[in-house]
Structure formats: structure tokens, C-alpha cells
Amino acid sequence: MQKNTVVHIIEVVLGVVIGAMVTFSIVRYRERQHLIHSQYTDWRKLNLILDIVEKNYVDTVNMEGMTDAAVTAALAKLDPHSVYLPPVELEASEQELAGNFDGIGIQFNVPNDTAIVLEVIAGGPSEKVGLQPGDRLLKVDDLVIAGVKYPQDSMVRHIKGPSGSKVTITVKRGPDIIPFEITRGKIPVHSMDAAFMIQPGVGYLRLSKFSRTTYKECHEAAMKLMDQGMAHLIFDIRDNTGGYMDQALLLSNDFLSSGDTIVYLEGKHRPKEVYKADGSGKLQNVKLSVLISENSASASEIFAGAIQDNDRGTVVGRRSFGKGLVQEPFFFTDKSGIRLTVARYYTPSGRCIQKPYGETKTDYSYDIYRRYADGEVFSADSVKLNKEDVHYTRGGRVVYGGGGIMPDVFVPMDTTRASAFYIACNRKATQMRFASEVFDRHTRALARIDSFPEMDAFLEGLNLKADFQAYAKKKDGLTCTPAEWEATAPYLLPQLKALIARYSKLGDNAFYKYYLPVDETVTKALELIETL
């Protein structure tokens, strides 16, 4: 037999053998496969995957964490406001709008192993001593919580505590490390920050959120102001991020006439619902100015849109956030839940004021920053409106949809007055810590004050100019020239008075009473009243 023939026979035999081995391996591999019938449109696929992982994965799996991650990732494919809330977050969210709790009055998040203050609750212990959004929490008493992967729920347990107990929170603010001693308190979840007569015939009411008690709080406060002679109300919902829609409906009803449309809702699985005023409102004859800002959202925009579209009052400020989506809560037995967008809301003229989502949630979140970068908050000409989405108010005025409520009167943000000394004081919360020291020195005197004339006399008796400059130099090493003080004093001194007065029985009413004279938007609203 020739050599080539032998080689060919061997190749054939090896080919058959190897082919058989490969075939056998493929068969054995296929025998180990579990053919699972599913489709991308079948939500059961998610459960099947989690079940396969639990039963087959090489290592022990934290199924609770994996389930939360899967749900979060799934909802992320929807709009930016449809979210999953684990038990801790859901409890905190519900408390914010509906109840009371003992603590220091902050909300924070832990994106990169360091807790960052997101919100300081108005009137709470933390705000009174000077904590600010953006502060990085380093320590709770002597416990280091930054950079050590400290669990967020454990942070909450250490920060919270019974009313009257003290805790020292050390924060990093820019390059500065600042310790704050805070006395814990019962954190009221009130929605109304202040209500008082700002001048004869003109009342002022500031609303921070739409909670379960919003209508009751605002209605009762407005009735008291009417008893004091209020004919015109400045209703301040700047930075009000919303809350319960039913409270916005009740509040709008108080100002509108019978049959006036407040808002309507519509979604794929929610038929159109139109909400109208029933004519029972007690404030129908009160003239109205509504103040909004770029952080006014959701329920705030329902109220502002209803007032604007019905030509019921004048909207003053800057373009609102642009959240025109309705979330409905769904709760689970493990105390977690989801907030799912089920409809869009439309103002009486037919505007859907939801701003575009953008390509990613990051784009959506950074929209406000882009407004600053583009100059929108400084100039009405820079505001980007959808001029193709035209609507008309009851009186025939043109309004635009597609991105928030544009005020009737635009008030730009003023940054020209911020001196270097003032900015440095703000960075270190010098004003707030100074006010706290004044309170410590005059605790008994401040505790007795319960009227604005008494507070005026008390503040006039303080040498705020000399005392504050001495404090800033001693505590923070900050000094200013006489010229810089003259430029700073007109808006720093009202702030100091407001912060000190807040420690009296007058509370937040005193803060806003003394601070509002340097508030450009309130000043504009008052000017407009005088010209009406």
C-alpha cells in the first residue's frame, strides 16, 4: 500500500473519530441545556432568569440585592420619575409628606461612599445651625462615616435620635471641615413655611411642598390674613417640588370660580379626567400673585398653570421645572414600592408642561444646570420655549407648552451683589453660626419676643455690624474693607436679622419678614401690585 493511501486512510479514520467525539460532546452539552420558552414581551422572563441564577450560579447570590437591581434597571428604561423605592427609602419618602419623626432634619444620598446632603428641612435643627445642601458628612460624633463604605441605613440610625439629645455632625464644605453641634428635635412635616402681612393689605404665604396637610394649613392661614385686612396675596411656591396632587386641586379650588378647569389628566391606561372648581372657594375675591422658580415642579405647576390659564392672577419669577407626569404608588408586602407614571397632566389651556426627557436620565437631571450655563435664569431672552406648541389663556393671551410654566413677569437671578466677603461667609455658614451664638447670649430675651415691634427693638439694640465682623475674623479668619462692607451690608444685615429672629416665638415668619426686603422677586411682585 502506498504511503499516500495510508495517510489518507488514517485521516479519514481520525476524521470519523474526531467528528464522533465532537458530535458526542455537542450532544452531551445540549443535554445539559434547559430550553426555556420565553419572549422579550413576556415579563416572566425576568423571574425565570433570577430563578436560574439562584439555582445554578457558582457562588452564593444576594437575591434581594439582585432583585432590587433588576427592578431598578427595568424601570430605568421608562421615564425619569418612575422609580423603585426599597423599604428605607420608601419610609423616608412617606414621612416627608405625611408625618413627623425625630432627627436633625436633613435628607442625604450616598453616591460615592460619602453622604451628601440633598436637602435641609426648613425650620429643622440642621438648618438653624447652618448645614447646607452639598455638605459631605464626615463624622457622626466620633464615628467616621465617609470613605469607609458605611451602610446608609446605619448612618440614618446614628443620626436620628430622641428629641432633645445632641449630636455633632462634622461636614466637608469645599476645602473646609466644619463641626456642627445639633440638638435633635421632632421634625414637623409642615408644608407651609410662613404666612404674615408683608405690608398693609398684602399678605405673604410661602409653601414648601404639597403634603397631606397643605390645603388645611394654607386655607386656615389665608383666613387669618383676611381677618387682618388682606386684599392681595403673594403666594410663594418657589423651589416647591410638588407632592400630592389632590392638595393642589383643593388649593386651586379656593381661588377659582365655579366651572373653571383646574387640570386634566390622560394616559394610555387612564381615561381623560377633567377637574373643575366647584365655586365653594373662600378666596375667590382675593387678588393673587404667584411666585415660581426653576425648581417649582409638579403640583406647584398644576397650581400655577391653573391660575395663569384662567387669568386669575399674575405669575412672577422664572420658568418652572417642567414635570407634567402623574405618579401612582404601588406598595409591596416587604415594605418596598414603586412610583409609576400613569398619566400626564395638562393645564386648562391644554398645555402639557413636561419638559423633554433627553437621551439619558443624566441629561434630564442636568437640565437645570444647563439653564444656568445658557443664561436662562439671568435673561428672559435666553429662555428656550417651544414656539410651535401655542395655547391661549381664557383672556386670549399666548402661552407655550412643552417645558414648564413661563411666568407672566420674568425676574432674573441677580448675582451682581455678591462680594468676595459675602461669598466666603456663605461658604463657611458664618452668618448662621453667628446667629446661633447671638441666640446663646440672648436666649431669655428672644424667648419672650412674640411680636414684630418687639423684635425690631431687640435687633436695633444689637451692634450687628461690629459684632459680626469680629466674629467672622475670630472664627473663620474673614475680613473685609470698609468699602466692601458698605457694598455687602444692605443684603447681609437683613439676612443676619432674619436668622436671629427665627430663634424667637415668631419662627419662620420672622425669618421671611426680615429677609424678603432683599428678595428681588418679592420686590417685583409688590411693585406690580402698586401699578394695578
Of 164, 187, 210, the one marking the end of a domain is 187
Which of 399, 237, 392 has its CA nearest to residue 320?
237
Residue 115 belongs to a domain with what CATH number? 2.30.42.10
Q: Is the pLDDT of residue 34 over 60?
A: no
Q: Is 334 inside a domain boundary? A: no
Position 92 scores a pLDDT of 67
Cα–Cα nearest to 421, from 466, 467, 486? 486
Do 363 and 443 reside in the same domain of the chain? no
**Residue 254 falls inside a structural domain:** yes
Quick one: which H or E segment has residue 390?
strand 390-392
Share of the chain above pLDDT 70, in %: 88
The residue that leads in pLDDT, 118 or 518, is 518
At 443, the pLDDT band (50, 70, 90 cuts) reads confident
pLDDT score of 91:
66
Contact between 204 and 194 under an 8 Å Cβ cutoff? The reply is yes
Q: What DSSP element (H or E) covers 12? A: helix 3-32
pLDDT at position 501: 92
Give me the domain span that covers residue 351. Answer: 192-327+343-413
Highest averaged pLDDT of the listed ranges 76-85, 87-96, 303-312, 400-409? 303-312
Residue 25 has pLDDT above 50, yes or no: no
- State how far the Cα of 392 lies from the Cα of 172, in Å rounded to an integer: 49
Residues 295 and 212 occupy one common structural domain? yes
Phi, psi of 328 (to 5 degrees): -120, 130
Predicted pLDDT of residue 18 = 37
Q: Which of 413, 436, 466 delimits the end of a domain? A: 413
What burial class does residue 294 get, using C-beta atoms within 10 Å of its C-beta: 0-12 exposed, 13-18 middle, 19+ buried? buried
> Given this model, what pLDDT does residue 196 score?
96
Q: Please choose, from the candidates 525, 292, 303, the residue with its C-alpha nearest in 3D space to the C-alpha of residue 407.
A: 292
Q: Please indicate, yes or no, whether residues 233 and 375 belong to a single structural domain of this protein.
A: yes
**Same domain (yes/no): 317, 366:** yes
Can you say whether the dihedral through the CA atoms of 373, 116, 74, 402 is positive or negative? negative
Residue 305 belongs to domain with CATH number: 3.90.226.10
In a domain, 82, yes or no: no
Question: 240 and 302 in one domain?
Answer: yes
pLDDT of residue 14: 41
Q: Give CA separation, 106 vs 28, 89, 92, 185, in Å.
A: 60, 14, 11, 12
Instruction: Name the strand (E) or helix (H) holding 235.
Output: strand 232-236
90 by Cβ neighbours in 10 Å (0-12 / 13-18 / 19+) ranks as buried
Is residue 178 very low, low, confident or very high in pLDDT (cuts 50, 70, 90)? Answer: very high
Confidence class for position 88, pLDDT limits 50, 70, 90: low
The three cell numbers of residue 527 are 411693585
Residue corresponding to grid cell 399666548: 398
Residue 362 has φ and ψ, to the nearest 5°, of -65, -45
Please provide residue 276's backbone torsions phi and psi, each rounded to the nearest 5 degrees.
Answer: -125, 155
- Compute and round to an integer the Cα radius of gyration of the chain: 30
In this structure, are 203 and 255 located in the same domain?
yes
Whether 269 and 366 share a structural domain:
yes
3-state SS, one letter per residue, for 66-99: HHHHHHHHHHCCCCCCCEEECHHHHHHHHHHHHC
Examine residue 347 and state whether it is found in any structural domain, yes or no. yes
Asked if residue 290 and residue 365 are part of one domain, the reply reads yes
pLDDT bucket at 39, cuts 50 / 70 / 90: low
- Does 92 fall in a domain? no
Residue 240 CA to residue 297 CA, distance in Å, equals 6
pLDDT in tens, 319-357: 999 998 888 888 888 888 888 899 999 999 999 988 888
159 or 29, which is more confident: 159
Q: Average pLDDT of the chain?
A: 85
Is 26's pLDDT higher than 50? no
> Hey, which bits of 88-128 come out as E strands?
101-103, 106-109, 115-120
Long-range Cβ pairs for the range 476-485 (8 Å, 24+):
476/424, 476/425, 476/428, 476/430, 478/421, 478/424, 478/425, 478/428, 478/430, 479/421, 480/419, 480/421, 484/419, 484/420, 484/421, 485/421
394 plus 249 within the same structural domain: yes
* 38 vs 76, more confident: 76
Q: Report residue 230 CA to chain centroid gap.
A: 30
Residue 73 has pLDDT above 60, yes or no: yes
Residue 172 lies in a domain: yes
- Residue 457 banded pLDDT, cuts 50, 70, 90: very high
Distance CA 169, CA 108 (A): 13
How many independent structural domains does the chain possess? 5
Q: Tell me: pLDDT of 29 over 50.
A: no
Residue 15 has pLDDT above 50, yes or no: no
Question: Does residue 83 sit within a domain?
Answer: no
Q: Which three cell numbers stand for residue 426?
A: 456663605
Residue of 66 and 287 predicted with greater confidence: 287
Is the same domain home to 126 and 51? no
| 232, 199 Cβ separation under 8 angstroms | no
Domain boundary residue among 187, 208, 228? 187
Residues near 272 by beta carbon (within 8 Å), at least 6 away in sequence = 264, 265, 266
Residue 467 is classified by DSSP as H
With pLDDT > 90 as the criterion, what percentage of the chain qualifies?
49
38 pLDDT higher than 70? no
Whether 237 and 314 have beta carbons less than 8 Å apart is answered as no
Rounded average pLDDT over 32-57? 72
Pick from 250, 184, 189: which is nearest to 216 by CA? 250
Are 503 and 486 in a shared domain?
Answer: yes
Q: Do 365 and 491 lie in a common domain?
A: no
> Within 13 A of 393's CA, how many CA atoms are on the CB side?
20
Average pLDDT, stretch 179-191?
86
Least confident of 196-210, 371-385, 473-487, 503-517: 371-385
Does residue 332 belong to any structural domain of this protein? no
Q: What is the Cβ-side half-sphere exposure of residue 12, based on CA atoms within 13 angstroms? A: 6
What interhelical angle do 464-476 and 430-441 show, nearest 10?
120
